Amino acid sequence: MDVSARIEAVYAQIVHRNPGESEFHQAAREVLPTLAPVLGAHPEYLDARIVERLCEPERQLVFRVPWVDDDGEVQVNRGFRVEFNSALGPYKGGLRFHPSVNLGIVKFLGFEQIFKNALTGLAIGGGKGGADFDPKGRSDGEVMRFCQSFMTELYRHLGEHTDVPAGDIGVGAREIGYLFGQYKRVTNRFEAGVLTGKPVGWGGSPARTEATGYGTVHFAQEMLRTREKDLDGLTVVISGSGNVALYAIEKVHALGGRVVACSDSSGHVVDPDGIDLALLKEIKEVRRERIAAYTAAKPGAVFSGRGSVFEVPCEVALPCATQNELTEQSAIALVKNGVLAVAEGANMPCTPAAIEIFREADVLFGPGKAANAGGVATSALEMQQNASRERWTFAQTEARLAAVMTEVHTLCRTTADRYDCSPDDYALGANAAGFVRVAEAMAAQGVV
């Protein structure tokens, strides 16, 4: 059986074993064909069935999460943790609390996390988790009781040398605090390295909050430099207005770019003068209002509840909201308006059809597993600080983050070139580079 046929057989097995998990199928379909040059050069990986083992999680946990709301009513949610691959280190990946969370989404995120974590060069494996709980509109007491119930089940599978969760959508410093408190209570251990994304005062890393957004912008800047450009003076559109988007806006502005549009689930706002980050943070982090409130304070800004934020003309687009948000139609609009580069701040925000549009138009495209690796890289740096009982400054951590993103960018290009592909094929470079690091470790560790 030739390499292409073997890859198709693996994909067919994934679909058969994981029925209805469309996001996981999509992630596998995006990665597997790009591995053909690597597998052709390393038939020993085929003999050891590395790909088949890589696509099957080492462990999948699904559990009930009962809790009591403020009205005294019992609520029941479902929790998940997929421990996908530990060849390079303890499982590492965030927890997502959102009504859309199901096993397929957690698997897609965990599968992507394997490659992303490998690209950082740090000793972390891949995993992901979450629950179909929505913290929006819930009181602090309700969120605390949910987190305590969630951790009461999950704690037995965690540990700083086993599995180290972090935050994701719906899981910020508040939720991490409640989760850590319950872990500490039931284990009787202050094991700081078991969760990352903690507040700086008790074991967190400076710049962790900013890391994913900052890292995405660093990656975009590195891509632009390959064409003798940079962000200074360029117009940028960013989807989302959560943690990743906010700090991507901050870094773009620091580098001289101008973000003219951002969004939330209700629509998008356009501000030709450049998004006022202080105002946006007040609306989203303090007042917790919808993005339309931005126009009340900025009369020159316009809100739209229709269409896509990616229809706004720009030279750089950073999708930072959620999976499959940037469609083929949006990609066509971006190309028509002269976009130069797209870097994924979210996980798999561009559909396969959109990615193909960018490839045909010679638009620089940075896949999420490379472009947004700054978040997990800084989480690993937090683990280092916890293990050594040290505290780094913001400047030290940001410098390490910038260095990691530069290394990831270089690795993607050199790997694509090594397998006789264009250095601009960041998707192939990222997938191949991450795969080789994991495959080498798996081969060395035997059939486990």
Choose the catalytic residue: 128, 198, 284, 369: 128
User: In b/e form, how buried is each residue of 284-304, taking b as 16+ CB within 10 angstroms?
Assistant: beeeeebbbbbeeeeeebebb
Q: Is 148 annotated as a binding residue?
A: no
Residue whose token pair is 């050891």: 48
Q: At what angle do helices 22-31 and 3-17 cross, to 10 degrees?
A: 170
Q: Is 116 annotated as a binding residue?
A: yes
Q: Is 100 annotated as a binding residue?
A: no
**Of residues 278, 250, 234, 243, the one with CA closest to residue 264:** 243
Residue 371 has which token pair? 């472009």
Q: Is 167 annotated as a binding residue?
A: yes
Residue 8 has which token pair? 């198709």
Q: Is 323 annotated as a binding residue?
A: no
Does 128 qualify as catalytic in the annotation? Answer: yes
**Of residues 259, 101, 249, 267, the one with CA closest to residue 168:** 101
Binding positions for substrate are 92, 113, 116, 167, 379
Binding positions are 92, 113, 116, 167, 212, 243, 379
Binding positions for NAD(+) are 212, 243
Provide the annotated active-site residues.
128
